[in-house]
């Protein structure tokens, strides 16, 4: 087995925008004459798609809406998200993302994003950060109806990478996922992938129990060590080897 592809989560891994998302969700709930999120609900939303988050929040408040109306809420939030980013002189990208992308590309590994965020949000950030050329494949909340911790997004990424690169013959076990939440880690593992947990959103010790490798920062990830372990026969990486 060899490492062939690195799949990034987006919110909480590339950009530090979780507070923006949680605030915008609260604003929409209030506009709908509903109570804002409780602390436990905020935690439950982390790592999940906006669609899944809104569905659960509305259900908790006894509100039944159609898929069409839910899509309208998501569109409103996406528009507000874009306006919030336009107010920022500098995007809150996580330190080390560009260096890690350089390492991955220098090793001729494929790159993709697997996220529950809407495509327009992801593309806006990547373009503004001048990272769009590095991610030819984006699996977004527009492409799947399920949400992490379900593995569908990761499995779809493997399928599409194989379509885009005829000779790749990529297997899920040959992918490395980079995640910041338990839901994301579970999704990648259910897809039979190894996972790096980066402690951007949850404490190191919480991710360490679930991920194959755990780092405090992206700059701590030693890609060469990870590749060496992938190259060993009949060896599964242990938790927190980086």
Low-confidence ranges of the chain (pLDDT < 70): 233-242
pLDDT of residue 230: 87
**For residue 2, cis peptide bond before it (omega within 30 degrees of 0):** no
pLDDT of residue 229: 87
- Report yes or no on whether pTM surpasses 0.85: yes
Local structure of 233: helix, strand or coil: coil
**Domains of the chain (ranges, CATH numbers):** 5-16+92-231 (3.40.50.1000), 18-86 (1.10.150)
Q: Which DSSP symbol is given to 131?
A: -
pLDDT of residue 190: 98
pLDDT of residue 238: 44
Span 141-161, pLDDT tens digits = 999 989 999 999 999 999 999
- The CA distance from 206 to 199, in Å, is 9
Alpha-carbon distances of 100 from 64, 97, 152, 176, 199, rounded to whole Å: 43, 5, 25, 13, 16
pLDDT of residue 233: 53
**φ, ψ at 239 (rounded to 5°):** -65, 135
Partnered with residue 137 across adjacent β-strands are: 112
Q: Which two tokens stand for residue 210?
A: 């679930």
């Amino acid at each position: 087995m060899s490492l062939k592809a690195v799949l990034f989560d987006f919110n909480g891994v590339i950009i530090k925008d979780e507070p923006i998302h949680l605030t915008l969700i609260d604003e929409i709930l209030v506009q709908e004459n509903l109570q804002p999120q409780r602390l436990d609900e905020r935690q439950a939303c982390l790592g999940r798609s906006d669609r899944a988050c809104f569905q659960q929040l509305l259900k908790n408040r006894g509100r039944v809406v159609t898929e069409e109306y839910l899509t309208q809420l998501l569109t409103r939030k996406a528009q507000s998200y874009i306006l919030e980013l336009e107010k920022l002189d500098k995007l809150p990208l996580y330190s080390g993302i560009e260096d890690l992308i350089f390492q991955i590309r220098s090793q001729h590994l494929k790159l993709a994003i697997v996220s529950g965020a809407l495509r327009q949000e992801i593309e806006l950030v990547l373009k503004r950060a001048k990272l769009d050329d590095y991610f030819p494949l984006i699996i977004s909340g527009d492409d799947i109806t399920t949400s992490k911790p379900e593995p569908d997004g990761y499995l779809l990424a493997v399928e599409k990478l194989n379509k885009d690169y005829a000779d790749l013959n990529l297997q899920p076990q040959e992918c490395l996922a980079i995640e910041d939440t338990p839901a994301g880690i579970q999704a990648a593992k259910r897809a039979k992938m190894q996972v790096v947990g980066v402690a951007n959103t949850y404490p190191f010790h919480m991710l360490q129990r679930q991920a194959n490798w755990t780092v405090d920062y992206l700059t701590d990830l030693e890609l060469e060590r990870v590749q060496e372990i992938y190259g060993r026969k009949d060896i599964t990486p242990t938790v927190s080897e980086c």
